[in-house]
Structure 1
Amino acid sequence: MKLEEMKAEGNVSTVKQFVLLGFSDLPNLRGFLSGVFSIAYTIILIGNSLIIIITRLDPTLKKPMYFFLANFSFLEICYVSVTLPRILLNIWTRDRAMSLLQCATQMCFFLILATTESFLLAVMSYDRYVAICHPLHYILIMNPKKCIELAAGAWLIGMPVQIGQTCQIFSLHFCRSNQIDHFFCDIPPIIKLACEDTFSHELSVFVVSMLFAAVPFSLILASYSKIISTILRMPTAQGWGKAFSTCSSHLLVVVLFYGSAIITYLRPKSSHSVGIARLFSLFYTIVTPMFNPLIYSLRNKDMIAALRKLFLKA
């Protein structure tokens, strides 16, 4: 791959183009990886699209819970589409070059959508908290206007900060190499290529991560602590089962998303391995979105009934 460069002050070359190494170290698995990723992308598109369709068409699903679920499904389609089509293109064409603008655009959308997912999961946990802890006031509290405001807030809250963070990262001077040992433009491998002090940038990334990951996660924990406390005070086992069934799917998605992200970004540097990092990145960027439709549909009686009605009509 020819490295495009221009001469900067002091005869130091400045990178103008990145090369995503991706899975170039696994040439014998090119066909297998192409097939697996193509199947995964198809499952994600079909599964999440079905959830959006049935929540729009079935009158029994005109509830806040399913409004947020439809938002979440649309988010998953967007989230995966930022990275997966590019991975497939790199495998099919073996052209792994990306301009700085293309790389910055991919990173910016990825960060915005990851932030949206984090806050949307918090909003969904709040919805479950109101439904279980304040059932008599649920319809009043989670009215259509409030639902739209909460969803819009989740989508918009991270945009200005993540756009600014992306601009800050790409204001760095890159001159060490143009090879990104990853399958998409993520922050850690990009910062590694900078040939200047990156402490302030890394500190900024840490602060933003705490703000947009730790805060929503804390809200989720607070919601579920109240939910569990309320469930334990219910007089009948039937009430316990019903309450847990409405929360279990969301809680499982939370564990998958935050668990894989925490392992990826908060592991000690001494234990960092490029292969392990890519494996966990694949998990929260592709595997988790692929299983989310199955988790929400197969563990929800209303969703199963709506799917049956949709296919019987077809």
Structure 2
Amino acid sequence: MKKIRGSLYFLDETFGRERIRRELDAQQDAGFDLVWVNGPPFRLEALEALQANVGAFDPIACLMDEAEARGMRVILEIMAREDWYVHWNLSGDLETSRKLTVILAQKYGCHPAFFGYYLGNEIYIVHGEQRTYCYTLWKSVAKWCKQETPGCKIVLSPFFVSDTGEELGYTYEKPEAYASFWRELLADTRIDILMLQDSGAEHAAFFGLAEREPYFAAVARACSDTGVELWGNVELAEIDVRDYTELKAFRADYGVNGAGFDDPHWIQVPISKLQNKAELASRYCAHLISWGFQQFVSPESGKVGSGTYFEAFQTWNRAET
């Protein structure tokens, strides 16, 4: 079974060097050697303001320097806008993405810790104009990234929907449809790595391994057919609900995360269950990464139980190969 190599890190513009150091220390102690990062500093207006303010503290450069000092590699997000899935504004998002690509490549693409770019459009199966949006945006941004930063890796982290009754409002499609969808989209978009989220759109504790495996198998076939590496995004947190009725009540009018990560329904995945999830993903994936370390596991998180859980996770993850 493979170890978890790293986790998505939300970099806030208020984070200073000491906060970043403490978080990367925790990640290194957990056995991580890779960090993929997003957050407000990656917005175009923030990057342009930093360019204009010579000498100002640069949280992205700080993170990359600290990562290099720990032997870690960094994946940087490129995403035109956080609510892209509301507007589907292809022309506008292409223009913004082009500017982001140039700035990020010039400022950070030659850094020794740099690994690649994470295209932050997390998606499942879409059709029509939405599919055209994804295909055109990803193909264009991947081309620009490879022009500006030769040798870089381009990464996506999609999810799947196992809710056959469509109780959460997502359109359900069978696993084989995911094989066809990703086979077609990956054929010439120059994506290098697909990091499949293992908890689907639901993030619910009642979601079993048997429901996950067909999607891993389907996406693995698509990746194999197109020469793309499949990685597993083995999530470290879940929503403690028993069924879709409780999950809908948890979401209420708030959305996917409910009232927020401080809600007690959000819990760390039990280590025994995490091991089973990692074993499943390891059967199909070249590497494992995760989401939820910063919010639920790190000693810096402040989450109830994080201290004890961090020690258990550290012991477990460092024991893997």
> TM-score per shorter chain, which class?
under 0.3
Structure holding more strand per residue: 2
Rg larger in structure: 1
Q: Which has the higher contact order (CA 8 A, sep 6+)?
A: 1
Structure holding more helix per residue: 1
